[in-house]
Structures are given as structure tokens and as C-alpha cells.
A and B are shown apart, each in its own frame.
Chain A
Amino acid sequence: MTTATENTHTDDHHDDGHHEHHIPPGIKRWLYTTNHKDIGTLYLWFAFIMFLIGGAMAMVIRAELFQPGLQIVDPNFFNQMTTVHGLIMVFGAVMPAFTGLANWLVPMMIGAPDMALPRMNNWSFWILPFAFLILLSSLFMEGGGPAFGWTFYAPLSTTYSNDGTALFVFAVHIMGASSIMGAINVIVTIFNMRAPGMTWMKMPLFVWTWLITAFLLIAVMPVLAGAVTMVLTDKFFGTSFFDAAGGGDPVMFQHIFWFFGHPEVYIMILPAFGIISQIIPTFARKPLFGYASMVYATASIALLSFIVWAHHMFTTGMPVAAELFFMFATMLISVPTGVKVFNWVATMWRGSMTFEVPMLFAIAFIVLFTIGGLSGLMLAIVPVDFQYHDTYFVVAHFHYVLVTGAIFSIMAAVYYWLPKWTGKMFHIGLAKWHFWCSLVSVNVLFFPMHFVGLAGMPRRIPDYALQFADFNKWISIGGFAFGLSQLIFLALLIKACKKQGEPVSAQVWEGAEGLEWEIPSPAPYHSFETPPVVK
């Protein structure tokens, strides 16, 4: 794509009355900010803190599972850890990190001065910390926090849960509201604020994937809100949506939950596809292969995601016909996903590649996400899924897709755009340590999970039979190493925020193309106040 800005913006370029005001000092700047870059930074730091908290919970889980027997925590607390770990990583780490990236990048990529709805943007971020304070505080209440898995299957989460469930429901409602506001903002921004000449099929793929993700969000987050509301009324107000005694059906909960849950999976991976599609062409110095088919593939994945939900429920006793339908539909999703992987490889093919840190993460993403995708294809096959379902094989699968998929893509994105945000190159030595330590440890952590899963270890258990002992030791060691590796990332980010490092040019990376690389580094507080013209 070729683009050109009409005029160059500089820091002191304040000709627009709307943005004449000064940045308030201290905490007020962050509390009252409506600037997309500030809000993006808030989102990203929030996500990183949540990633560390959720990670600490994973460390508790792995410490307990280091050897057979119960050593550290009791089973009830273990269940709270697995539940809250899942909730925090999904709603607190991955989703806010993507929203943060969208805030920073979407306006810069489409040549807009800010998000379309800046005040709502402020709200959608600032309600998030409260949601997670509520969720985390429930851990310290009598009876403890939610202990029914992040999927909160009824009736374990209704009749058989403790009163802390009300806090869980409230927290999920707030998270949902935040995501919905964020999604509305992204959609309106992309529809209404594109620079002249920025046609649909010229938009960078990150913008495309986020647009589609945002539509998924507003379609399914309300369904989740409905599901938790039903849990709440079943538990506290005597309804029987999921209670057989009152004419309800506990399996219906799973249908409603996964109607949200499966598109949710794509909410967590489509922006990752966008990020990788930005990074690979830069470092291959070659335009993205099959731009149009990438867009169509993303859209078809999103559409198909609405008709595959019951593949999470093959063992609930569905009729054969339904099982077959969901099996075929699920397998079908692998076609557009495959197209994406093939396109990335074709982009690299006959390029002129260099391997800077963002590229390292992007390549690791393609390899490891493909492994996760292929195990997902295996899981789609109903008769075999009877053996895989609810074992560590599934745990391995979704961690390959979410950790080495979504989270690696977020790290790739941070390394890719961090110099643009701070104006300084990050500490490359630390970044390489971070990459290689993470890459090795994450595979020690998750790869053996395939084996214990196939050998018959169920998920969500605090203790296991002796034949799983040796692999679990390795898995835990990998887990601790992966956890520690993230501290390198923390150190690097602190250095970057202190603006240490070599100054970088506007383009930063030799092969980078797109509007965000045409404004100076660091990106000025207000950019594109006069829209650029895209040729």
C-alpha cells in the first residue's frame, strides 16, 4: 500500500482549538484522559499487570502439581486458582491488551486524530480495574472466590456454589460492558474516521481483523451477560433456567455459554492474525501475500464461529446428527485458518528476511499456533474427542493457541510498535533473552501436556496418579521458567517507559509501511489532526 501524508505533523503543531488544553499533571492525566494513546497505554499496562497476577496463580497451580499428593493448597482453593487464572487471562490480560493495541494503533493506521468516542473510551477503561478488584476480592471472602472453572457450568455455579458467585456475576457484567464499549468505539472509529482515500480494501489487516473482532464482541458479550444473569437469578431469585427439578436443563447452560464462548475464542485470536500480517511483510520486505483472501478468511472464520459452539460439548449426550454437524462445521474452520498460515509462509517466500525481535515472535507464533491449530483439528473429530475431552490434551491445545498464539502476538506487537510509542529502541539484548527464554520454557511447559492428556490425565485436578508424575514435574519446571522469563519483559518495559535507548527514525524498521510509520517517533500526543490523503 502506498500512502502519503499531506503535511508533516510535529509536536508543537497545535492549530486545532479542540486540543489546545494542557496535559494535566500526575494521576489526573490518566484518570481524565480521553487521548487514545494514553488510554492505549493504560490498557496495555493493565493487561500486563493482570498477566502477572494470572501468571502468579498459574504458578500456584503448577507448584501444587509439581509432585503427586496435596502439598501447598487445598482442593477448594486449587479450584479457585484454576477458575480465576482463566478469567483473568481471558478478560483481564488478552482482551484488554488487544483493546490497548487497537487504541494506540487504529487511529494512527487509518489516519484519524483519535478514537471516535473519546469519553466513552475513558469509561470503558476505567471500569475495568473495578471489575477485577471485585473478582480478586472475592478470593478473600468467606467461602472464597469462584471455584467452578472459568466456564462456570451450572449447576455447580448455581445451586452448588457459594454466595461469592454474586461478586463473580457482577465482575463479569462490568468486564462485558467495558468490552462492548471498547468494541463500539472501534467500529465507529473505523467506519467514520478513515482518512480520505483510506478505502476498505486499503485498510491495514490489523484494522480489518479488529473491525471483525469488534462485531463479534458486540454480538456475543451480551449473550455472556445473559448467561451470567441467568446464573444469578437461578442462584438467588428462584428461577430454574438450569435446574431440572424446575423444568430447566443444565445442558442448556452449556449451549448458551459456548454460543458466547466459541466466538470469544476468535475474539482472542483474530487481532493476533492482524498483528502477524503487519509484522511478516515488514521483515520479509515484501507485500503481504493474498491481502484480499486474508480479509475474506478472517470474515469467514468469524461467521463460522457462530455455528461450531457445540464442539465443546460432544460428551453431553447430543444426538449423532448434531454431533456430525458440529464436527463438519468445526473442520471447515480449519480451511480459512490454513489459508492464513499459507499466506504468511508465501509472504516470507522469496522475501529478503531479517530477524529482529518482533519477527522472532511472529515466526514463533506461526509455528506454535499451527501446532495448536492442528491439535484443534484433532479435537474436532467427535469419536476421538471422547478420549481427548477434558484432559490435558485440551489444556495443551488451548494454551498453544492462547499463550504462544494470542500472547506471543501481543508481545510481537509491543516490540514492533514500542519504538514508535517511546521514540527509543528497546533494549535488544534483554528482548532477545526474553524471546529465547520464553520460547524454550513455553514448550517445556505445554508440549508434555499433550502426552499426559493422551495418557489419561483429566484437567482441573489438584492431584494425580503416579504415572503422570514425571511429566508433571517437567511441566511445572517449564511453567516456573516461563513465569520468570516474563520478569525480563517487565524490566525491558520499565526501561522503555523511562525513555532509555537509542532514538529511532519515523519509519523505525527498514521495511515498515503504513501511516503510523510516517508520523515522527515518538508519535506526537496528537497526530493526524489534519487527515492525510491516502493514494
Chain B
Amino acid sequence: MNSPSSQSKNNKMVVKLLAIVVGMFGFGFALVPLYDVLCDALGINGKTSDVAAVYESVEIDESRLITVDFITRSNTGMPWEFRAETRQVKVHPGQLNQVDFYVRNPAKTAIVGQAVPSVSPGPAAIYMNKTECFCFEQQTLQAGEELLMPMQFYVDPQLPEDITYFTVQYTLYNVTASADVVAMN
């Protein structure tokens, strides 16, 4: 039974199985970037790209008019006043547009904010191309400071026919605590 040959056979097999275990543990973490890739590709969960798009020679589709709504929220712990200067725009796919967002920090200290975008219905997200957005990076406002933040975007003419209306939400988070950690490092 437990002869040397069967021992080494067992050991070889254990090593192989452990390799699968380690591989699957890694796969668990690989799901994180994989999920982001899938989200970017399929617009799962209404995530928009966090990299600026380049706007060049996009054909404007005059035949369609898309309504885009903007919603702004300051999450718990974020005292900033935050609103879109334009609540709603009607755009032709391919046309470059700008919407300004107003922020003011009423607190007595400087605060670092991060805006997180989300699009509903989710599948519209990948057709929402932003060439410039305050959400690409963290924003710091000094006590009492106010700011008009521009956001430039165009709707990809590939947008499916059945989507005529979508909503973009920005949620502002107070990330001062974690931003300090980054600065210290």
C-alpha cells in the first residue's frame, strides 16, 4: 500500500492540486481587474471610463436627440455644496458638450473630494465619452473656497437606438482621510 512509489505519486498529485488552489486564490483577485474590464466593455453597473476620451472627427448624428440628466449628491461626511449648473441637456450623438458643476466648501478646513460617476440605464455608460472631467482626479478645496468645475463629453454615435434618455449621477465623497495617507507616503 503506502509504498515509496505510491507515496511519490500521491505527492505529485498533491502538488498539482495545491497549484490549482493557489491559482484559484489568485483568480479571486484577478476577478477585480477582470470585472473592471467587463464593466468598461459592457457598461455593467453604469460605470463610466475613468480615462479621458479623445474627441476627434466624430460624426455628428443630427437625426437623434438624446436627453442627458445630471444628478449631484454629497455623501455622508461631505459638507460641500455641489450642483450641476445645467440639470439637463439635449444633445446630438457625436456633438461635444460642456456642463459646469459648482462646488463650495463651507467647512473651516480644507477637504479633499472625489466624485464618482454612475450612469443609468447602465448600458449607456460606455457611450458616454468624457474628454474632461473633475471626476478623473481628487479635488481639494480650501475652507470657504468655491469652484466651477467643467465636464466635457460627447455621446458616442454608436449609442443603441433604443436609448434616448439617460441619467448621470455624481456622488461626492470626502476622501480627506485617505488622501492624507497618500500624501504621507
Q: Do A and B bind each other?
A: yes
* Contacting residue for A255 out of B22, B35, B43, CB 8 A: B35
Q: How far is the CB of B140 from chain A (nearest CB, A)?
A: 15
Q: Bin the interface of chain A by size.
A: 35 or more
CB contacts under 8 Å to B, within A218-271, are 218-227, 230, 238, 240-241, 244-247, 249, 251-252, 255-256, 259-260
With A192-B6, A255-B31, A319-B44 known as contacts, the answer to whether A219 contacts B178 (CB < 8 A) is: no
Cβ–Cβ contact B1 & A113, under 8 A: yes
Residue B92 at the A interface, CB < 8 A?
Answer: no
Cβ–Cβ contact B25 & A18, under 8 A: no
CB contacts under 8 Å to B, within A151-200, are 180, 184, 187-188, 191-193
How far, in angstroms, from A222 to B18 measured CA to CA in the complex? 10
How far, in angstroms, from A311 to B121 measured CA to CA in the complex? 19
With A245-B173, A247-B50, A317-B122 known as contacts, the answer to whether A222 contacts B22 (CB < 8 A) is: yes
Cβ–Cβ contact A188 & B17, under 8 A: yes
Cβ–Cβ contact A219 & B20, under 8 A: yes
How far, in angstroms, from A320 to B123 measured CA to CA in the complex? 9
Interface set of B (CB-CB < 8 Å, partner A): 1-2, 6, 9-10, 13-14, 17-18, 20-29, 31-32, 35, 39, 42-47, 50, 75, 114, 116, 120-123, 171, 173-175, 178, 181
Cβ–Cβ contact A188 & B10, under 8 A: yes
Q: Which residue on chain B has the smallest CB distance to residue A228?
A: B28
CB contacts under 8 Å to B, within A28-53, are none
Could you say which residues of chain A place their CB within 8 Å of the CB of B121? 319
How far, in angstroms, from A16 to B123 measured CA to CA in the complex? 68
Residue A418 at the B interface, CB < 8 A?
Answer: no
Cβ–Cβ contact B14 & A188, under 8 A: yes
Could you say which residues of chain B place their CB within 8 Å of the CB of A223? 24-25, 27-28, 31
With A180-B21, A192-B13, A220-B24 known as contacts, the answer to whether A249 contacts B45 (CB < 8 A) is: yes
Cβ–Cβ contact A192 & B10, under 8 A: yes
Residue A201 at the B interface, CB < 8 A?
Answer: no
Give the interface centre of B13, B14, B24, B174 by most chain A CB atoms within 10 Å.
B24
Could you say which residues of chain B place their CB within 8 Å of the CB of A191? 13
* Contacting residue for B42 out of A16, A18, A226, A319, CB 8 A: A319
Could you say which residues of chain B place their CB within 8 Å of the CB of A18? 1-2
Residue A371 at the B interface, CB < 8 A?
Answer: no
- Over the window 264-305 of chain A, the binary record of Cβ atoms lying under 8 Å from chain B Cβ atoms (1 yes, 0 no) is 000000000000000000000000000000000000000000
Cβ–Cβ contact B24 & A218, under 8 A: yes
How far, in angstroms, from A249 to B118 measured CA to CA in the complex? 11
Could you say which residues of chain A place their CB within 8 Å of the CB of B114? 245-246
15 contacts between A and B (CB under 8 A): A180-B21, A221-B24, A222-B21, A222-B24, A222-B27, A227-B28, A238-B181, A244-B116, A244-B171, A247-B50, A249-B45, A249-B47, A252-B32, A317-B45, A319-B42
Could you say which residues of chain A place their CB within 8 Å of the CB of B178? 238, 240, 246
Q: Which residue on chain A has the smallest CB distance to residue B42?
A: A319
Cβ–Cβ contact B28 & A245, under 8 A: no
How far, in angstroms, from A191 to B11 measured CA to CA in the complex? 12
How far, in angstroms, from A117 to B15 measured CA to CA in the complex? 13
Could you say which residues of chain B place their CB within 8 Å of the CB of A184? 14, 17-18, 21
Give the interface centre of B22, B23, B26, B45 by most chain A CB atoms within 10 Å.
B45
Could you say which residues of chain B place their CB within 8 Å of the CB of A252? 31-32, 35
Q: Which residue on chain B has the smallest CB distance to residue A316?
A: B45
Residue A70 at the B interface, CB < 8 A?
Answer: no
How far, in angstroms, from A249 to B114 measured CA to CA in the complex? 14
Cβ–Cβ contact B42 & A322, under 8 A: yes
Cβ–Cβ contact B9 & A192, under 8 A: yes
Could you say which residues of chain B place their CB within 8 Å of the CB of A188? 10, 13-14, 17
How far, in angstroms, from A393 to B159 measured CA to CA in the complex? 39
Residue A385 at the B interface, CB < 8 A?
Answer: no
Cβ–Cβ contact B10 & A116, under 8 A: yes
Q: How far is the CB of B99 from chain A (nearest CB, A)?
A: 21
How far, in angstroms, from A170 to B86 measured CA to CA in the complex? 50
Could you say which residues of chain B place their CB within 8 Å of the CB of A16? 1
Q: Which residue on chain B has the smallest CB distance to residue A260?
A: B28
Q: Which residue on chain A has the smallest CB distance to residue B28?
A: A226
How far, in angstroms, from A223 to B26 measured CA to CA in the complex? 8
Cβ–Cβ contact A259 & B31, under 8 A: yes
How far, in angstroms, from A311 to B116 measured CA to CA in the complex? 27
Cβ–Cβ contact B1 & A529, under 8 A: yes
Report the 7 A-B pairs with minimum CB-CB distance, sorted nearest first: A226-B28, A245-B173, A222-B25, A222-B24, A223-B28, A184-B17, A188-B13
How far, in angstroms, from A187 to B28 measured CA to CA in the complex? 22
Q: Which residue on chain A has the smallest CB distance to residue B118?
A: A244
